[in-house]
């Protein structure tokens, strides 16, 4: 590489170099210009592109780490946040187009910030909450802090109406956002309810219901019902007497005036027909 990135940072920059929002922001314009000039395909060209990109990422990595630090103490390890921010920086370097006239830092900051927010949205919430409601949560938290710090409310926590007026939201939106605040973390199933000191405190798992085995029976009955209606009257009666009246085959045969063998054949044929039709419907 003709000129290293590090030689163009800090005091090494010319006085005529463009100003950056941060004093330690490197000047990587020449590197992006070289990337733009690298046209064509081939292993050598792609390898050169990758070397330049890695140098640019290394130069801007302190910025990504500073942005990750802003999200500390939110339930995620700082080292993991730095990795997420670095990934956002890599994406910014690959997608940046200097011909648009936007400084790289102005493009990289929202890209890295978006990657960090996406990480929290997709991996840190224990209950799925729509993005719109997550955004409301942030606005409401900011409004509550501002109301408390400026002294606009005194002697009590900000009400829903006060938060809505300050944040420019409806009271329903504030309610939705405040409910989202309870969805970021969840209790363990082993967590115990706290009651009187001398009472038994059951675990959360002890209060949960169990699957009702009768549910499967209900589903099967609903699937069989229309097929039963299509059977001949005699076969329906045989099935009714056998499975709903709990009559033996001998008693059914006596009641209908037929042989027990005939009743057995009717039961077998009816059950097989219904089973095949139900399975065909489900298939």
pLDDT in tens, 5-34: 443 433 333 334 444 445 567 889 899 999
Q: Let me know whether 140 and 234 are in one domain.
A: no
Q: Considering the domain boundaries, does residue 98 fall inside one?
A: yes
Residue 206 lies in a domain: no
Q: Within this chain, do residues 18 and 117 fall inside the same structural domain, yes or no? A: yes
- Separation of alpha carbons 9 and 11, rounded Å: 6
What value does the mean pLDDT take over residues 167-196?
70
Tokens of 118: 């996406």
- Shared domain check, 165 and 243: no
Q: Which domain-ending residue is among 108, 124, 140?
A: 124
Q: Are 84 and 92 in contact (CB under 8 A)?
A: no
| Same-domain status, 100 and 149 | no
Vertex 211: Cα angle to 210 and 216 (nearest 5): 165
Q: Do residues 179 and 140 share a domain?
A: yes
Asked whether residue 134 falls in the same domain as residue 218, the answer is no
**Residues 84 and 30 placed together within one structural domain of the fold:** yes
Q: Choose one of 167, 186, 205: the last residue of a domain.
A: 186
Does a structural domain hold residue 207? no
Examine the domain organization and report whether 73 and 47 are in the same domain: yes
Helix (H, G, I), strand (E, B) or coil at 150: helix
88 & 166 share domain? no
pLDDT of residue 142: 82
Same domain, 101 and 132: no
Q: What Cα–Cα distance (Å) separates residue 265 from each residue in 12, 48, 147, 249?
A: 99, 82, 81, 11
Asked if the structure places residue 145 within a domain, the reply is yes
Could you tell me the two tokens for 194?
Answer: 């706290």
Give yes or no: residues 53 and 113 share one domain.
Answer: yes
Q: Mean pLDDT across the stretch 193-203?
A: 61
Provide the pLDDT confidence category of residue 222 given band limits of 50, 70 and 90.
confident
**Domain span at 68:** 6-124
Are the CB atoms for 60 and 28 separated by under 8 Å? yes
Burial group, residue 280, by CB count within 10 angstroms (0-12, 13-18, 19+) = exposed
Give the integer Cα–Cα distance in Å for 80 and 73: 12
Average pLDDT, the chain: 78
> What is the C-alpha separation between 201 and 192, in angstroms, rounded?
6
> Which pLDDT value is given to residue 165?
87
Q: How many domains does one find in the chain?
A: 3
> What is the rounded distance in angstroms from the CA atom of residue 53 to the CA atom of residue 61?
12
pLDDT at 9: 39
What's the whole-number mean pLDDT along residues 192-205?
62
Residue of higher predicted confidence among 154 and 44: 44
Instruction: pLDDT band for 226, please (50, 70, 90 cuts).
Output: confident
Find out whether 224 and 274 touch, Cβ atoms under 8 Å: yes
pLDDT digits (tens, 9 = 90+) for 88-131: 999 999 999 988 888 999 999 999 998 888 887 666 555 555 66
Q: What phi-psi label fits residue 247: left (phi over 0), alpha (psi between -120 and 50 degrees) or beta?
A: beta
Report yes or no: 34 and 52 within 8 Å, Cβ to Cβ: yes
48 within some domain: yes
CATH number at residue 20: 1.20.120.1810
Q: Is 56 exposed, middle or buried (0-12, 13-18, 19+ CB in 10 A)?
A: buried
Q: Is residue 60 one of the residues assigned to a domain?
A: yes
pLDDT at position 195 is 55
CATH of the domain at 135: 1.10.10
% of residues, the chain, pLDDT over 90: 26
At which of 124, 145, 176 does a domain end? Answer: 124
- The residues, any chain, with a CB within 8 Å of residue 186's CB and separated by 6 or more, are 126, 127
In a domain, 67, yes or no: yes
Token pair 């009702």 is at which residue? 212
CATH number of the domain where residue 273 is located = 1.10.10.10
| 66 shares a domain with 175 | no
> Per the domain annotation, does 51 fall within a domain?
yes
Short-list 267, 273, 283, CA closest to 224: 273
């Amino acid at each position: 590489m003709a000129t290293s990135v590090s030689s163009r940072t800090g005091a090494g920059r010319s006085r005529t170099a463009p100003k950056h929002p941060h004093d330690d922001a490197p000047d990587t314009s020449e590197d992006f210009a070289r990337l733009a000039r690298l046209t064509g395909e081939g292993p050598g060209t792609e390898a050169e592109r990758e070397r330049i990109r890695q140098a640019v990422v290394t130069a801007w990595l302190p910025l990504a780490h500073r942005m990750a630090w802003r999200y500390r103490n939110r339930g995620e390890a700082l080292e993991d946040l730095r990795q997420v921010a670095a990934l956002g920086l890599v994406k910014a370097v690959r997608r940046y187009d200097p011909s648009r006239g936007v400084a790289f830092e102005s493009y990289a900051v929202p890209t890295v910030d978006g990657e960090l927010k996406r990480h929290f949205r997709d991996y840190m919430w224990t209950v799925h909450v729509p993005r719109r409601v997550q955004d409301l949560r942030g606005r409401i938290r900011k409004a509550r802090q501002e109301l408390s710090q400026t002294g606009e409310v005194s002697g009590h926590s900000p009400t829903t109406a006060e938060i809505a007026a300050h944040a420019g939201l409806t009271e329903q939106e504030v309610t939705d956002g405040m409910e989202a605040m309870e969805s970021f973390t969840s209790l363990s199933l082993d967590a115990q309810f706290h009651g009187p000191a001398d009472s038994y405190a059951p675990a959360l798992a002890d209060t949960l219901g169990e699957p009702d085995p009768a549910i499967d029976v209900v589903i099967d009955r609903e699937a069989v019902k229309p097929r039963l209606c299509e059977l001949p009257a005699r076969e329906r009666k045989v099935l009714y007497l056998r499975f709903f009246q709990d009559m033996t085959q001998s008693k059914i045969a006596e009641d209908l005036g037929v042989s027990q063998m005939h009743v057995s054949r009717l039961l077998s044929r009816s059950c097989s027909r219904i089973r095949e039709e139900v399975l065909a419907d489900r298939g």
